[in-house]
Amino acid sequence: MTRWVQTFLLLVAVIRSYAEDSCPDVKVIGVGASDKLTILRGCPGIQGVPGPQGPAGPVGAKGNFQLRVDLTDFSDKSTYASYSNFSIAEESQSYTLSLRSFMGGDAGDSLSGHKNFSFSTKDRDNKSNCAHTFKGGWWYETCHYSNLNGLYLHGNHTSYANGVNWSTGRGYHYSYKVSEMKFRPQP
């Protein structure tokens, strides 16, 4: 099995990377695993935010990538979900999410329901005001099954669906410690 691309994509200026040794210009800007999220700039083949484009990644590509979502809870239990033919449309198409199918994983499928949705943020809301309501940037429509760019709420929370949520995992009242979206060329 080929190695997963070590760039973890969280759209719209929020990219977290474990490949800091190969991307020395990664800057820490916010909250995530160990309270850090990063913006990826200056890495070879990457033309800036919101993420890797063209041959380096899925933005603007035509379904040539496999996606793996890794989630870690506050007990350090990890789960995953994987998808085939992942791509993200260009900005002119509102970064619409494209997936072919859920391939498996013990986290369950909380992303297929977002297929063909535009990426929305509170200042660029493409549908239903969900980005404002659920405090994140995501592929919202009739709001969401997952919300990996939601608020970092440190595990269980009483608010509904505004944390780093994956509904088929820990549900809408649990915010994950770490969420990673990894992609690689489709084998």
pLDDT of residue 75: 97
Q: Is the pLDDT of residue 178 over 50?
A: yes
Give dist(CA 112, CA 166) in Å, integer. 12
More reliable by pLDDT, 96 or 169 = 169
DSSP string, 93-127: GTT-EE--EEEE-TT--SSGGGTTPPPBBTTB--S
pLDDT of residue 173: 96
Name residues whose C-beta falls within 8 Å of residue 84's C-beta, 6 or more positions apart in sequence. Answer: 66, 99, 100, 101, 103, 186
Q: Which among 148, 141, 159 is positioned nearest to 182, based on CA atoms?
A: 148
Q: How confident is the model at residue 63 (pLDDT cuts 50, 70, 90)?
A: low
Q: Which among 145, 119, 140, 116 is positioned nearest to 130, based on CA atoms?
A: 140
Q: Is the pLDDT of residue 84 over 60?
A: yes
Q: Of the given ranges (18-22, 123-127, 136-140, 178-182), which has the lowest mean pLDDT?
A: 18-22
pLDDT of residue 14: 32
> How many residues in total does the chain contain?
187
Q: Which residue has the tokens 């449309």?
A: 89
Name residues whose C-beta falls within 8 Å of residue 92's C-beta, 6 or more positions apart in sequence. Answer: none
pLDDT of residue 56: 45
Q: Is the pLDDT of residue 139 over 70?
A: yes
Q: Where are the domains of the chain?
A: 7-185
Contact 4, 68 (CB under 8 A): yes
pLDDT of residue 62: 61
What does the pLDDT look like over 28-56, one tens digit per residue?
333 344 443 333 333 343 333 334 444 44
What number does CATH give the domain 7-185? Answer: 3.90.215.10
Give dist(CA 54, CA 130) in Å, integer. 29
The average pLDDT across 143-153 equals 88
Q: Is the pLDDT of residue 10 over 50?
A: no
Average pLDDT, the chain: 71
